[in-house]
Amino acid sequence: MRWRRSGATSSLETSDAPSAAVRRRRPLFGRPLSALLLLLVVLGLVGQLVTLPFVVLRPGPAVDIIGRPEDGAPVVTVEGAKSYPTSGALYFTTVAQYGGPGRRPTAWNVLGALVDPDAELLRESVVYPPQVSEQAVREQNTAAMTDSQDEAVAVALSKLGRPVTERAEVAEVLPDSPATGALRKGDVITRVDDKAVGHASEITQRIQKSAGDVTLTVKRGGSTQTVPLTPVVRNGRRVVGVLIQPKFSFGVDVKIHVGDVGGPSAGMMFALGVYDTLTPGALTGGQKIAGTGTLVSTGAVGPIGGIAQKMVGAKEAGAGFFLAPRGNCNEVVGHVPDGLVVTPVETFDQALSAVEKAAAGQGASLPSCPGQ
């Protein structure tokens, strides 16, 4: 530090004292940085608070139907018939879903889905009807899971030659429909015109094929009644305005325990698991086989949603084979994980045959989706 005299004035100079120019520049660096940090904090909070009308699908867990989950209890239990030990795995696959009525994803969830190759982003309106409640969705998924289990047990027992009794029961009469005031919840439909029917798909087909009015024969309480109805066309289909639920009576008590999982898409794999449990030996031959698909009591396998995520979940579980509904082939092509053999099926018999071929070491001969 030194004094320097210049005329009548003097000044103090020191190497550790910032110059005026430096003092003026420092705020130019500090203020923008603080503003940027504040902006990032605000954007982070907004991203967490703002929700968007989308649904995010990601691979969910695969559950082994013939194994034992973490709690040690078997998924399939049987009373009234002999069950057999088995090996390998029959996985039903799931989708982890984020979003929907009452639980929309945040903006950050949506952005994350856009950059995740295993995620699928859908508009909420594509997945759910307008104004449906979260409670209604939960109830529908639970009912669909129960129905899928009943249908699966019916298919497996029928394949084994065990007695199965099915009836088509009215679960709901839709308001302002042809059936309003004519049919009631609990009515059992036994005939459409002069044709006997046993399940919902038959009733739907008969109504579609009819040219004019239809006459339903129903059992209500202890009486039988005939109910004439005039179908209306909605979304290109002839309908009378009832929801029909299949009801079954079995000679065997089969229970399927899957915890908090909803929806109908595990039906085909449930039927394979029940069939394996009730037959000697390992149906899979020790292989790990996964799949998905709805199933009705006629044995028909139907398409499902989220198959790309389900194939990823199957691969992550260690499955070597995957059974896919043929109706999903357009979504299978281009999305099959490396090392996973995917084969399409349309019926339970085809699914059973595919598992038996994989068990016998003939998995390479299984058919694939066109273009796969």
Please give the Cα distance from 268 to 272 (Å, whole number): 7
Q: Give strand ranges (E) for 87-163.
A: 89-99, 120-123
pLDDT 10s digits, 220-245? 988 999 999 999 998 888 999 999 98
CA-CA-CA-CA dihedral for 338, 340, 345, 348, to nearest 10:
-160
Asked if pLDDT for residue 363 goes beyond 60, the answer is yes
**Mean pLDDT of all residues in 94-122:** 87
Coil/strand/helix, residue 347: strand
| Mean pLDDT computed over every residue of the chain | 86
Out of 11-15, 82-86, 182-186, 366-370, pick the least confident: 11-15
Share of the chain above pLDDT 70, in %: 86
Share of the chain above pLDDT 90, in %: 60
Asked if pLDDT for residue 2 goes beyond 60, the answer is no
Out of 255-259, 322-326, 338-342, 353-357, pick the least confident: 255-259
Question: What confidence score (pLDDT) does residue 296 get?
Answer: 93
Please give the Cα distance from 330 to 119 (Å, whole number): 18
CATH fold group of domain 164-250 = Pdz3 Domain (2.30.42)
What contacts 24+ positions apart, CB below 8 Å, involve 235-239? Answer: 237/208, 238/207, 238/208, 238/210, 239/177, 239/178, 239/207
Degrees, nearest 5: CA angle 217-218-220: 150
Please give the Cα distance from 320 to 156 (Å, whole number): 24
Q: For residues 28 and 33, which has the higher predicted lDDT (pLDDT)?
A: 33
Coil/strand/helix, residue 332: helix
**Mean pLDDT of all residues in 111-129:** 87
* Interstrand relation of 232-234 and 237-239 (parallel, antiparallel or unpaired): antiparallel
Question: What confidence score (pLDDT) does residue 43 get?
Answer: 57
Question: What confidence score (pLDDT) does residue 12 get?
Answer: 35
DSSP one-letter code for 300: B
**Mean pLDDT of all residues in 195-208:** 87
CATH fold group of domain 61-94+141-161+252-372 = Ribosomal Protein S5; domain 2 (3.30.230)
Please give the Cα distance from 11 to 19 (Å, whole number): 13
Please give the Cα distance from 148 to 153 (Å, whole number): 9
Asked if pLDDT for residue 362 goes beyond 90, the answer is yes
Task: Quote the tokens at residue 170.
Answer: 């009215």
Please give the Cα distance from 54 to 159 (Å, whole number): 42
What value does the CA radius of gyration of the chain take, rounded to a whole number of Å? 31
Would you give the distance in Å from CA 182 to the centre of its chain? 35
**Mean pLDDT of all residues in 186-213:** 89
Question: What confidence score (pLDDT) does residue 31 get?
Answer: 64
Question: What confidence score (pLDDT) does residue 33 get?
Answer: 64
Q: What is the pTM of this model?
A: 0.81
* Domain ranges for the chain: 19-49, 61-94+141-161+252-372, 164-250
Cβ atoms of 237 and 168 closer than 8 Å: no
Question: What confidence score (pLDDT) does residue 279 get?
Answer: 97
Q: Which amino acid is at 5?
A: R
